[in-house]
Amino acid sequence: MKEKLLIHQEVNLPNAFDIKDFKLFYRDIDLFRLSKKQGTPLRFTYLPSILEKIDEMKSHFNKAIRTTSYQGTYTYYYCTKSSHFQHIIKKALQADIGIEISSAYDIDLIQSLIEDGYVKKGTKIICNGYKTSDYQRGIMSLIKQNHCAVTPMVDSPSELIYYCNNINSNTSLNVGIRVNLSFLSAYPKESRFGISPEDIITCYQRDIKHNQQITLTTLHFFNENGLSSDDQYWDVLEAIVRFYCQLKRLNPHLTTLDIGGGMPFQSTANEYFDLPFLVKRIVSTILGICQQECVPEPDIVTEFGKYTVAEATTTIFKIQEKKQGEKINWAIIDGSFITHLPDTWAIQQEYPVFAVNNLQEENSPFILGGLTCDSADVYPNVKEHKTVMLPHSDQEQFVAFMHTGAYQEALSGFGGVNHCLIPSPKHIIIDKGDSDELEFTTFSEKQTSDQLLKILGYR
């Protein structure tokens, strides 16, 4: 059946998907039957995928460390802003990872997980982002609680001064500092994140070197273009590792390099990333520079969010109508890209898209349109790919957007008022029980008119 599909359209189904009886299956789940039973728009999250992705990346790094005789360690952190939902973070924590947070309310989220027993004593917490006064107070409260191993990632000199002034006499604090990448000739000069290398050295010598309670252990950077195989990423990595070596010679307590996030996920059907090669090149690059600089290689930390959760979730729509246009045919979905998949119009994000049923039919090109009256409510929203292939059939048709688990609900505003009052979709959670059988639970029903009117003050 896969060969039959390839005759119509050259695509590579992700490993978790298959075709049976001319219908799309995900891990032996009949998506046509699921769509009919649960209704659409429908979002489902398959939680075991999260553990698989974490274990996969740990394996890549540990193998690279072993084969290169790298002397440092590797620690995986989950970036909560990709998806803050409890079922996501609870599942990720089962893989023995650290957590990276970025706002004051994240402190309350961590505290709730501690109280419920999901965050074990000694769990590593990285506090990233700009620190408001509430966020700073929350970090200090978490440190004084002494349940987690908390490392604030200093983003400005004033933040460091706050810790120096508020750490009590019987508490020690490990901190990291984020590097502002504007010092690099090929990097945009407008970056507001972090501290310049010169100011990092000044802060260390002035505020940390002789402070018996605060230790600078970590240097952090994040390339906003993400991890990739192009020269720009490797130029940035080399410059940061060389600065790490410079700072290490001044500060022997520096042990860790946090390379941030940006590990790619599969965003189109035919996309392929050689992740083992990419990871090995990261490890080999750091090792080679440290050997040149005669500096011990650092422990490596990553903060992967989208990579962790994107591929766990699929969003399914029903085609309401197929309309013949002047130059192209339209297929109208029973949802909205602006509401349900906001990245498709905000940053022109692509996703693997497949018809769920009628796969015995020949395919025809369509543009998918949402229910709103906005011209931007379309997919695809990129010049390179202008259509989606759908079965040329008048039968009931469903279409699945894969790998939609990162950011979409947070950006659209889960539980709130969406554009044109398009309701949030039903969301179900799929997990495995003790007997390894699939368990389906409803996380949230499709939003109702009464719920929306209450938010708007009509009830």
Distance CA 150, CA 128 (A): 11
Percentage of the chain beyond pLDDT 90 is: 75
Distance CA 65, CA 74 (A): 8
pLDDT at site 273: 79
pLDDT of residue 14 exceeding 60, the answer is yes
Average the pLDDT over 45-55 and give the result: 97
pLDDT at site 5: 45
pLDDT at site 327: 82
Q: Are 110 and 337 in contact (CB under 8 A)?
A: no
Distance CA 343, CA 345 (A): 5
124-134 confidence digits (pLDDT tens): 999 999 999 99
pLDDT at site 366: 94
Average the pLDDT over 74-87 and give the result: 96
Distance CA 425, CA 437 (A): 25
More confident residue, 426 or 226: 426
Average the pLDDT over 223-250 and give the result: 88
**Can you spell out the DSSP letters for 377-443?**
-EE--SSS---EEEE--SS--EEEE-S--SSHHHHHTTTS--GGGPPPPEEEEEEE-TTS-EEEEEE
141-199 confidence digits (pLDDT tens): 999 999 999 999 999 999 999 999 998 878 889 999 999 988 887 776 777 889 999 99
Average the pLDDT over 191-208 and give the result: 94
Distance CA 176, CA 131 (A): 14
pLDDT of residue 7 exceeding 50, the answer is no
pLDDT at site 271: 66
pLDDT at site 270: 63
Task: Share the mean pLDDT of the chain.
Answer: 91
pLDDT at site 399: 97
Dihedral of CA 340/346/350/355: which sign? positive
Dihedral, 234, 49, 442, 19 alpha carbons, nearest 10: 110
296-307 confidence digits (pLDDT tens): 999 999 999 999
pLDDT at site 1: 40
**Can you spell out the DSSP letters for 178-193?**
EBPGGGSTTS-TT--S
262-297 confidence digits (pLDDT tens): 888 777 766 677 899 999 999 999 999 999 999 999
**Local structure of residue 107 (DSSP, 8 states):** H
pLDDT at site 385: 64
Q: Which residue has the tokens 């909205």?
A: 336
pLDDT at site 4: 42
Q: Is 33 helix (H, G, I), strand (E, B) or coil?
A: helix
Cis peptide before 41 (omega within 30 of 0): yes
pLDDT at site 229: 66
pLDDT of residue 358 exceeding 90, the answer is yes
pLDDT at site 203: 96
pLDDT of residue 11 exceeding 80, the answer is no
435-457 confidence digits (pLDDT tens): 889 999 999 999 999 998 999 99
Distance CA 97, CA 119 (A): 10
pLDDT of residue 227 exceeding 90, the answer is no
- How does residue 403 score in pLDDT terms, banded at 50, 70 and 90? very high
